[in-house]
Structure 1
Amino acid sequence: MFYAELVAATYAEMGLLPPDRPRNSYDPGSSWSGDDLPLLQGATLGDEIPVDVPSAPYQQRTVRPQE
């Protein structure tokens, strides 16, 4: 299942998308930005929230199999 399908299935279960439209017909970009996403019941998505993830210094790790 792709991200957009999961969001579409969740919104359909919440009554925010029509239940008869195939989940794979939704554009992945519209699932997070709300562009042209036809939500029902007067629902709207809020503004996008920027997230800044600082990069951590590189550390080499050795992964050993568990015994």
Structure 2
Amino acid sequence: MSHDKRIRVAALFVLAGLLIQLFALLYWTPLTFVISTAVGVPLVLLGVLLYGVTVWKILKEQKAL
């Protein structure tokens, strides 16, 4: 997978997680809190992790590290 595509996928994960958390914030119930915590937060963390790994690989390829 190309670096550009990986960054786009990471951005989509973060966006999906933030949208879930925003929905949960607007309609706050115990169930939406659980959904926000169990689905939204891991999606954001997965996106951040994927982005970080991709940047790390780009820097390693360019011998910047």
* Structure 2 length-normalised TM: 0.30
More helix by share: 2
Tell me: higher relative CO, structure 1 or 2? Use CA pairs within 8 A at least 6 residues apart: 2
Q: Please tell me whether Structure 1 or Structure 2 has the larger radius of gyration of its CA atoms.
A: 1
